[in-house]
Structure 1
Amino acid sequence: MSLPTPLRRASFGALGLVGVLAFAACSTDAEPVSVETEAVAVEETVYPVTIVNCGEDLTIDSEPESVLTIGTSAVALVDAAGASDRIIARAGEFGADLPAGLSNPPEDVEIVDPSDPAIEAIVGTEADIIVGYGLFNASDEDVAAVGIPNVVIDGECSHDAALTDKTDFDAIFADVERLGTVFDTSEVAEANVAALRAEVDALSDVDTSQNAGESAAVVYYFFDGATMSARGGQGIADDVLARAGFDNVYGDEPSVYLEANIETLLDADPHTIVLAYGLYGESFDEALALFLAEPGAENLTAVQEDRVIGVLASDLAPDPGAVRGLEQVLVGTGALEG
């Protein structure tokens, strides 16, 4: 069973360079390698344009000039697509910080609702389009009735149901390109995707042989006092663990977010634990204290051998910030120098 979708509010920044000195995939004793990306010729968007939106066709009649983002992943993806200057309102961030590394962070943009906005708040923004993790306090019929297209992040389409397709880095890149089409900013989107892809390719070449055959788990707490949750096999965290050489303890779970408990973690006794933190503004130390207070946590091998790695939850979300999440896991395991 997965947790309520407010958990899906994470996210993070994109590179804005056509030619980039990518962080080369390297082992701890290797030298960085320069990787340059090339500009790609792209066509302008001709409106109306139809995109695939959670398996359904969605038609955008004209170029959107104002955007309501729901969740920080939406901010990161819109920024990577080259349209963050059009964000006029934000919602659904639940107190989390804006993603790091944004080319144009919408710091002064009003947050109309820290959680899921109702239709009245959505209409009040006068936005041309919504980009986010989906709607809960407003229905699809509500927004359709007022004529506001609602673009849902690919990695959030299923919410509490299993995804049809796993969200991996390629899915994130495709989402950036899709938004580039929506906003007629494909040139910027393609350049950012090329830079991000080069960095992921480089990080994926890091020697992770020391983790081969080992297991790992990503766990987190949605709020202080919440029960422990974990990341299953359908989300980007599973791809991050795989690229770091690990088998995901919860990888057979056909969901992104799931309720877990210390008993299942003790039974699996993973080699490494990735503790995602910052969902409600908490520090790693605060999240670690919650985790270590779990009965029996001190018996976990990862705890005893100091292999609990802290990664911002926003860097394990279906957006460009997951590149940082992968880098942090590689550094935390010693496969990469920090």
Structure 2
Amino acid sequence: MSHALFRRRGVTALGVVGAAALLAACSPGSADSTEGGESTSAEGATSIGATQYPLTIDNCGEELEVEQEPESVLTIGTSAVALLDAAGASDRIVARAGEFGAELPAGLTAPPTDAEILDPYDPSIEVIVGAGADIIVGYGLFNAAVEDVESAGLANVVIDGECSHDAALTEKTDFEAIFDDVSRLAQVFDTQEQAEENLDGLRSSLEELTAAAGETQEGRNAAVVYYFSADATMSARGGQGIADDVLTRAGFDNVYGEEPSVYLEANIETLLDADPHTLVLAYGLYGESYEEALATFMTEPGVEDMAAVQADRIIGVPAADLAPDPGAVRGLEAVLEGTGALNQ
């Protein structure tokens, strides 16, 4: 298939998520298909029928036009894989990048194990073009220029939950935003029927887990912390990302919930000052085990005096299950299991 699959509208197509000046507000679930004057949303795709191309979708505040059905995909990051799997299109993944040594998310229906990892980090334009894919889905591109991607004729679909990445330029990513993103991708790949079936199951599971958690209890707070690499300082999850929704549904106030960011550097002093009731330790971002992540955390000065440490209220959750994709349902379940809420 030809790479000439898209046209862009507006000021520029989004290519680099981390460049704050280029980012505008995302509108979850706002994919539009237009033919003969009729416009339909991704949420209503199954009631309309097959996708009509060219298809215009919202792509982090920019309109992106997909001219024909994509047949091959380059994914950037594991969340792209999980979202495409839920959308029923993971069988079209021909190459992967940007996974930083992390394992594929658990529970995939069609894991792309045969798709070569071309670069474990942020791919260059040469790697991207060499993938032979006709569309990109991922967290954005940091090591390839927007104009070079456009010149290659590649549509770059950015995951809704990564539109702002580490700056509060979009609405908060919650579970509904994730489900809307699945619907948006299903419309791009014309896989609405399978996506809706998967979404029904995800919504049902989320409702059951939320009901099991009950009301937020006064004085119960928690923090999600993690290490991006073996030599990185401790980071935490702020109020803009899905981890905040996970904590809220599990009955906790997020210690860093007022921070208008998804990811933030959180020095140990702020964590010690907050002294959260429960600590969620996300692990596996660079392939490390929970035991390795915990050992790293326990080297931080003063943590042995934290209430969560002394009472053994540390819950390990794979970082892939606290990402802006359907695996976050599994992340909520892990937190609830750690608190004992599912045994009540």
> Could you say whether these structures have the same fold, taking a TM-score greater than 0.5 normalized by the shorter chain as the test?
yes
Q: Conserved in 2, the CA contact under 8 Å of 1:315 and 1:325?
A: yes
Work out the CA distance in 2 between the residues paired with 1:233 and 1:170.
Answer: 16
How many equivalent pairs are there? 301
- Shift of residue 190 of structure 1? 1.3
Aligned to 2:35: none
Aligned to 2:297: 291
Aligned to 1:329: 335
Aligned to 2:184: 178
| Structure 1 letter corresponding to 2:326 | P
Is 2:224 aligned against 1:189? no
Matching of residues 45-64 of structure 1 within 5 Å: 45-64=51-70
Matching of residues 152-301 of structure 1 within 5 Å: 152-209=158-215, 211-301=217-307
Q: Conserved in 1, the CA contact under 8 Å of 2:216 and 2:250?
A: no
1:266-305 per-residue CA deviation (whole Å, 9 max, x = no partner) reads: 1000000000001111111111111111000001000000
Q: Conserved in 2, the CA contact under 8 Å of 1:132 and 1:153?
A: yes
- Shift of residue 254 of structure 1? 0.3
- Shift of residue 211 of structure 1? 4.0
- Shift of residue 210 of structure 1? 7.6
Q: Conserved in 2, the CA contact under 8 Å of 1:42 and 1:187?
A: no
For structure 1, the 5+ residue unaligned runs are: 6-39
Equivalent residue in structure 1 for 2:125, among 111, 119, 141: 119
For structure 2, the 5+ residue unaligned runs are: 1-16, 19-45
Aligned-CA RMSD value: 1.4
Equivalent residue in structure 2 for 1:79, among 62, 85, 106: 85
Aligned to 1:143: 149
| Structure 2 letter corresponding to 1:319 | D
Q: Structure 1 segments of 4 or more deviating over 2 A?
A: 207-213
1:183-232 per-residue CA deviation (whole Å, 9 max, x = no partner) reads: 00011111111110111011110144584431100000111231110000
Q: Conserved in 2, the CA contact under 8 Å of 1:77 and 1:176?
A: yes
Higher mean C-alpha displacement, 309-318 vs 204-213 = 204-213
SS at match of 2:212: coil
| Structure 1 letter corresponding to 2:309 | V
Equivalent residue in structure 2 for 1:303, among 284, 300, 309: 309
- Shift of residue 162 of structure 1? 1.4
Work out the CA distance in 2 between the residues paired with 1:258 and 1:210.
Answer: 24
TM-score normalized by structure 1? 0.87
Is 2:137 aligned against 1:131? yes
- Shift of residue 55 of structure 1? 0.7
TM-score normalized by structure 2? 0.85
SS at match of 1:205: helix
- Shift of residue 163 of structure 1? 3.4
Q: Which has the higher contact order (CA 8 A, sep 6+)?
A: 1
Q: Conserved in 2, the CA contact under 8 Å of 1:211 and 1:244?
A: no
| Alpha-carbon spacing, 1:297–1:206, altered in 2? closer, same or farther (3 Å) | same
Identity of aligned residues (%): 71
SS at match of 2:137: strand
| Alpha-carbon spacing, 1:125–1:282, altered in 2? closer, same or farther (3 Å) | same
Work out the CA distance in 1 between the residues paired with 2:151 and 2:294.
Answer: 46
Higher mean C-alpha displacement, 65-74 vs 208-217 = 208-217
Aligned to 1:105: 111
SS at match of 1:95: coil
